[in-house]
Chains A and B, each alone.
Chain A
Amino acid sequence: MSDLAGLKASYELAVVGAGPAGLAAATLAAELGIDTLLIDEQDGPGGQIYRAIARSPLGEPAILGADYWQGATLLAPFRASGAAYLPGAAVWSVSRALEIGVSAGGTARLIQAKHVILATGALERPFPIPGWTLPGVMTAGAAQILLKSSGLVAEGEIVLAGSGPLLWLVAAQYLRAGARIAALLDTTPRANRSAALRHFPAFLVSSYFAKGIALMRAVKRRVRVVRNVTALAGEGQSRLETVVYREEDGRERHLPANLLLLHQGVTPNLNLANATGCAQAWDERQLCFKPVVDGWGASSIDGVSIAGDGAGIAGAAAAEARGRLAALAAAAKLGRIASAERDRRAAAHRAALARAERGRAFLDTLYRPAKAFRVPQGDVVACRCEEVSAREIVAAVALGCSGPNQMKSFLRCGMGPCQGRLCGLTVSELIADARGLSPAAVGYYRLRPPVKPITLAELAGLPKSSEAVKAVERS
């Protein structure tokens, strides 16, 4: 919980998100003497990847692995930098005039900034399978959060399903914690393996390779792994009881399960950037929308930069480098350093970024999720909040509904509290698939503030200009 009373009315730089990109950006900017505020929703720094790193409940560090603890090196420099830190606060709006709407402890405030760096990170790709809304179905990331923040590990019949490095990491962490995993159902399409081969040389020399191989070997030794899974479903009366899956041979198999952990990659958490008006584009390799940014992270909105996974999925090390590049660019823009100095300092971070990005092409290609798990069919719920099915969306396309914003008007998908975080990609891809177009042509929801819920009372308490009041009280 946080106290907004201690905040100033304005700062030179506001950074949103205290993951690796945000921490690195705020630290560097503050070290250059810029009046910096770092705002984060969680009670402690680290974002999602380094969740609870400042106060881990775990007595046994080895469970989480060395990569996690790497994040701790960001903390001391941040604390020493002089940046102001506001944890436990949600940013619900950033206007084009760089007025930031913040909410904490039931109060909302507006803070003015001269420059904003959005470092809102990533979230897990939706995984719309039959039964995915059943109690007992969660993301693999959720299991990891319970482990990191609360030292909790699941027991009973646990099934992991999906594709991507995080799935294997969670499996490995769980095994180290003494959990028993009934099965890991790998949905990585067989065809991806040959497609990824040409990126293999770069992957070989990246840091991912050795770690990844060791991880997978450790898991395969102790967990039944089923590869080339082509279909998945959760079944149960009012909670998960069985996981049903199909392999390449087409045969259906049933696994008793009380916990299904799903994961098929992460995608940029772009709601705040979208609501601010930042332009987005479709990335065909990573199969997601991401903000359009230049080499310094500058978005299409003047004064707003985006760094880290929120600008495009590239991992924690890349996030740090991009955070630092965005901070350097902000420093030059604010007149604190000359552009020559900015470019000189940037060289090391660009080199770090290049190193961090090596091997990504291989991972992106290998773990590119199958269409069957991105474009659901029939009664599968596409929008969880408003309970809209794939069938309804396809029927609306047949009526001529050509994009997600019209779709929102017709069916309410995307109108719930999650604001498309769990349905946006699915809806865009459903429409694209039904129309025979790329999601690039179809587009994404157009979002508005508040991107996080605030109460009417909080909103009512904000300052209002006389023009604003006149626009409403006209009688």
Chain B
Amino acid sequence: MFRRLPDAKRDTVSLTVDGNALTARAGDSVAAALLAAGVLVCRTSAVSETPRAPYCLMGVCFECLLAIDGRQNRQACLVQVADGMRIETQAGKREVGR
């Protein structure tokens, strides 16, 4: 649902999302990288477990919560992609220790 403008030049970065390989661009936020790859739903909500996706992309809505490198509830729009990053979507409430 999002395409990259042809003249946007950046190095590529390799990461995984729920175990699947994904190529992103250096400088992308994790949220942008997922949207660029067509991954919209990042979690189900803590209260009612309904699907949620990024809304504001500027760090104020707290909808884009994901697990990054084993730590849950991170705001994907505020974290830049890095090579080898492991991203996992979340279901419901966070687990202690994850």
Contacts and interface: CB of A to CB of B under 8 A. Distances in A.
Asked if A and B form a direct contact in the complex, defined as CB atoms under 8 angstroms apart, the reply is: yes
Interface of A: 1, 41, 43, 48, 55, 57-60, 63, 123-124, 133-139, 141-142, 145-146, 149-156, 177-178, 238-239, 258-259, 269, 384-387, 416-418, 421-422, 453
Nearest to B55: A138
Contacts of A58: 5, 7-8
B50 A133 contact: yes
Contacts of B90: none
Interface string B1-42: 111111111100000000000000101110010011000110
Given A156-B1, A416-B62, A150 B32 contact: yes
A274 to B, nearest CB: 14
12 contacts: A57-B8, A57-B25, A63-B5, A123-B60, A133-B50, A141-B58, A151-B7, A152-B8, A239-B40, A258-B1, A386-B47, A418-B61
B1 A135 contact: no
Contacts of A141: 56-58
B59 interface: yes
Contacts of A154: 1-3
A55 B27 contact: yes
Contacts of B27: 55, 57, 149-150
Nearest to B78: A41
Nearest to A417: B62
A253 to B, nearest CB: 23
Contacts of B40: 135-136, 239
B22 to A, nearest CB: 14
B9 A259 contact: no
Interface of B: 1-10, 25, 27-29, 32, 35-36, 40-41, 45-48, 50-63, 73, 77-78, 80
Contacts of B51: 134-135, 238-239
Given A133-B52, A153-B3, A154-B1, A146 B57 contact: yes
B56 A138 contact: yes
> Closest 3 CB pairs between A and B?
A59-B7, A151-B8, A135-B53
A142 B32 CA distance: 10
A138 B53 CA distance: 9
Contacts of B3: 152-155
Contacts of A421: 60-61
B41 A60 contact: no
B36 A152 contact: yes
B5 A384 contact: no
Contact of A150 (B36, B55, B56, B63): B36
A142 B57 contact: yes
A114 B77 CA distance: 32
Given A152-B2, A153-B2, A153-B3, A145 B58 contact: yes
